[in-house]
Chains A and B, each alone.
Chain A
Amino acid sequence: MAVQIPEDRLKIARLSRISIVDVLLWALRIGVLGVVIAGTIGTLINGRYGWTQWVDFVVFGLTLGSIYAQIALGYTMVYGVLRLINFAHGDFMMSGAFSAFFVANAFYRSGFLESHPVPALLCILITSMIVSTAVALLAERFAYRPFRRVVGLAPLICAIGVSFFLQQTFRGMFGSSIRAYPDPSWQRATISFLGIEVQAVELLVIGLAVLFMIGLYLIVQYTKMGKAMRAVAEDGDAAALMGIDVDKVVVFTFMLGGAMAGIAGVFYCFVYKQVYFYMGFTPGIKAFGAAVLGGIGSIPGAVLGGFFLGLVESVGPALFLDGLGIPGPYQLRDVIAFTLLIMVLIFRPNGILGERLGKKRA
């Protein structure tokens, strides 16, 4: 028997569903959009920046973006396979960056870094990759594996613990001072192109990052372990029934993520020219944001999210804030980055390329 609900009762029910929070959220969205549009128009009318400067911003944005993308890949792959937010991933990067610093410093003192950039860079990259990967594998084996079948918040808390552990270990071993990463002349070289001066090292970072990411894509897409990894990400039990050793796949995933974090650590040194025990935190959080932005679990999403975040951070202050007459817009780049991140997630809770998490593993 169908129950009759009076028309006006239905209307009230519908209205009461629009809460004050919804109204505030909409106001926030419209407000931020207004600021962005007004700022952009203001900046463009002002014409304070020539197009060479814009190119500068974009190149720097892509450089940051390739670092974020590489870190975000580690987050997204581990999440895909284990449904774990590996809070310590930024610290894997820090570990690699520290080792890169020591190698680079030794090379710098002996003059090798100045005279033989290519073999020196290779050594630095390989060292950083090995150290980051080793740290990632140790964390997996001794911290994460015992929590594999544990549901709830415990694995995440364990990951936060690993993060603190790594930070404090490096602090204990090497002190809390900020160390300057060596800066040989080839790292300061610029390339002129159509009247625009670009930092050669930025192009190097972008180029190598794209190369490594293509490499990663090929591994994940075409190798046996890569396919097994995607299978485990989708359905671990079904993968085990096919004879896939899930433990091995998890180790493989941490290896790939660790290696990418190691590369990102070297690139981070190139851009910011410093290392310290806490250096992994902010890029880690940002890259995690980038991974969520792209749709956590999605590999192309992590790359997209990383580059998006890098560009917003680099172009955003000048484009959105300068036109509003806000002084020192660059101080606010993190505010912009995170605001946009939140905005995107309000409109697309599952990220740009993400799918609804609920429908996975039905």
Chain B
Amino acid sequence: MPYLEVDDLHVGYGQIAALKGVSLSVEKGQLVTLVGANGAGKTTLLRTISGLLRPSRGSVNFDGQRIDAMEAHKIAGTGLVQVPEGRRIFGRLTVSENLELGAFTRNDKAEIMADKERMMTVFPRLKERFRQLAGTLSGGEQQMVATARALMARPKALLMDEPTMGLSPIMVEQVFDTIQTIHAQGVTILLVEQNALMALSVADYGYVLESGHIVLEGQGDALVDDERVRHAYLG
């Protein structure tokens, strides 16, 4: 059984169907990318996996447990953590407090402190801004806070929703470096990205979502070479 498995998922907003039977799976330790145009339903899928939306049909399993009826905070407690679209950091809290909240489900105080220190070495930019309100940081720095906050949970798997949105090319490179580092440390990742070429080239496996359907899937590099993907997403 795959580590994270989405099966025949249907999700709607009122009468509007956003996901119309999506199935995908992520094996333990894999980095899987999901690409798709604006409005394809990528965010809807991640929000449903995380328990913020309820599916009308279908199931989600994670780590041998069915989670599609679980409350969002309990899903986070199982080790499946999301870095949401638009970062959604707590702007009126300090960087340090943001990181502490990331570790909310943990109780090992000393270890949490150590992890906070570790984040400072992973993201040196945050070090000087530790006591600053997170809302005053630049977009790139806020993305670091969002990622670090999620890592503070010591996640088994990460869902990342467009972590490079609105960032400069240099920052985009940095974010991809970070993602690969996290992946190399054994964290399973499901990555949603607009930068389809970059995302697919680092991924083990990729899915293409279109109007609520998975229309294509395959090995990351194979998808990069696929004529249809090139045409639709890579220009």
Contact = CB atoms under 8 A, between A and B. Distances in A.
B52 A241 contact: yes
| Interface residues of A, dominant DSSP | helix
A242 B52 contact: no
Interface stretch (B8-16, B86-94, B222-230): B86-94
Q: Report, as a range, how many residues of chain A touch the other chain.
A: 10 to 19
A233 B149 CA distance: 18
Given A227-B100, A228-B104, A239-B101, A234 B81 contact: no
A217 B134 CA distance: 20
A246 B73 contact: yes
Interface in B35-87: 50-52, 71-74, 76-77, 81-82, 84, 86
Interchain residue pairs A-B with the least CB separation, the first 9: A243-B76, A243-B105, A240-B72, A238-B88, A245-B73, A243-B104, A241-B82, A231-B90, A234-B90
B147 to A, nearest CB: 13
B31 interface: no
Contacts of B76: 240-243
Contacts of A228: 101, 104
A227 B90 CA distance: 10
9 contacts: A230-B90, A235-B90, A238-B89, A240-B71, A240-B73, A241-B81, A242-B153, A243-B153, A245-B71
Contact of B73 (A227, A230, A243): A243
A109 interface: no
B215 to A, nearest CB: 28
Contacts of B220: none
Q: Most chain-A Cβ atoms within 10 A of its Cβ — which of B82, B101, B105?
A: B101
Contacts of B52: 237, 240-241
A237 B46 CA distance: 13
B102 interface: yes
Nearest to B46: A241
Interface string A210-227: 000000000000001001
